[in-house]
Amino acid sequence: MDTVHYFADRLPRYLEELRALVAIETPTGDVARAERAADLIAALFSGLGTSDREDLAGLGPMLRIRRPGTGSRVLLLAHYDTVWPAGSWEVPWLERDGRIWGPGVYDMKAGLLFLPWLLRWLRDAGRDHPELEILLTPDEEKGSPGSRSRIGEAAARADFALVLEPATPLGHLKLARKGSGEFQVDVAGRTAHQGAAPEEGVNAVVEAAHQVLRMLELQDAAAGTTVGPNIISGGSASNTIADRVRIVVDVRAWTEGERLRLDEGLRALTPVNEGARVEVRGAWNRPPMEPSPAAVELFERARGIGSALGMLLESAAWGGSSDGCLTAAAGAPTLDGLGPVGDEAHTRSENIVVAELPRRMALLGELVASLAVAPEEWLSTGACAFLRSRSRG
């Protein structure tokens, strides 16, 4: 059975299912809509494996589908929440010029729907496959607060993790991602009348300006480490010395070493002006996704399969984070970006390329089927040693 033709012949049905899923808007934390989407998704997996459902408080259901197999243990990961508040799109489904636009169609409902089709293909083609665990989560766009521990536990059980986030606009796979975090810097001063007694005040805005410049000193352009003091608020009136300012800071780093350096530097911020106080709170919601030797060899395996399907795949380092950061941190060799080709994630122009869908689903299918062997049968000695070391941990 030709794999690409299998998916191409069934593309109209896939698109019908995708349109139904996109029509259920799923902003993170909208539990009622998440439950409706989970009901639809669960129905699509009916008869394809052992399923269970866990309600994450205030977030919605997390779905887990298991299917026994041979060889490796593979975790497949996707989320069904989106960044879009309900009603954000006047036209929630638009097909034109070989592309489809819609809220969450690229990030990442189209990729999520690769998964029931993967299981259908394995069944219909009679292909051997590894032991599979699929996690579908409702909270990725807010840092996976409810599902992150479940993802980490599942990744610790797996030999490999495959993430169905979208590919790059050029169709490449994501082998590295930046870790990301958000910090809040609260600056306290002392209020006073700007005209009558300015010497009695301590201006929190002025202190905050110093702190912003100090934060920016922690950036390292060559290392790709960024500090974004992107929200600032405070003060009460132009004739009153400001006694409170809050700065909200986005931070990103490619490596664990840079993450630790940046974290330490932010937490070490101290006041410049006498009488001012500075308090730093916050955390990293995802660590960097650094490629292990086994992850690099997993990518090369995917590249070879893609070449046989007529695809020229490259590995990409991507500035945005995903749940792949969590699986990699748990020690599972991780390959991300196995979803659709498209563009403009998190904008009202997000879209997918329809013609590429059959080959992308075929890539996933053939890659998964190729893992129905023990890792040591194809990984190098060094990569196998990495897997053994993490299992002992």
| CATH label of the domain that carries residue 252 | 3.30.70.360
Give the number of domains in the chain. Answer: 2
Q: What was the pLDDT predicted at 392?
A: 42
Distance CA 149, CA 158 (A): 14
Convert 87-146 into a string of H (helix), E (strand) and C (coil).
CCCCCCCEEECCEEECCCHHHHHHHHCHHHHHHHHHHHHCCCCCEEEEEEECCHHHCCCC
Same domain, 51 and 122: yes
From 234, 262, 285, the end of a domain falls on 285
Average pLDDT over residues 21-35: 98
Q: What is the mean pLDDT of the chain?
A: 96
Q: What was the pLDDT predicted at 391?
A: 55
Res. 13: pLDDT tops 90: yes
CB atoms within 10 A of CB 255: 17
Strand partners, 135: 64, 77
Residue with tokens 């070989």: 98
Predicted confidence (pLDDT) per residue in 55-109, tens digit: 999 999 999 999 999 999 999 999 999 999 999 999 999 999 999 999 999 999 9
Lowest model confidence (mean pLDDT) among 112-116, 217-221, 337-341, 383-387? 383-387
Distance CA 361, CA 164 (A): 10
Same domain, 103 and 152: yes
Same domain, 383 and 295: yes
User: Could you tell me the pTM of the whole model?
Assistant: 0.92
From 225, 252, 285, the end of a domain falls on 285
Strand partners, 173: 315
Distance CA 134, CA 77 (A): 6
- SS3 (DSSP) at 231: strand
Owning domain of residue 22:
3-178+289-392
| Percent of the chain scoring above 70 in pLDDT | 99
pLDDT band at 380 (very low <50, low <70, confident <90, very high): very high
Largest CA distance in the chain: 85
Average pLDDT over residues 124-139: 97
Same domain, 111 and 220: no
Distance CA 123, CA 372 (A): 14
The number of residues making up the chain comes to 393
Burial of 140 (0-12, 13-18, 19+ CB in 10 A): buried
Same domain, 33 and 132: yes
Average pLDDT over residues 229-238: 96
Q: What was the pLDDT predicted at 46?
A: 96
Q: What was the pLDDT predicted at 390?
A: 75
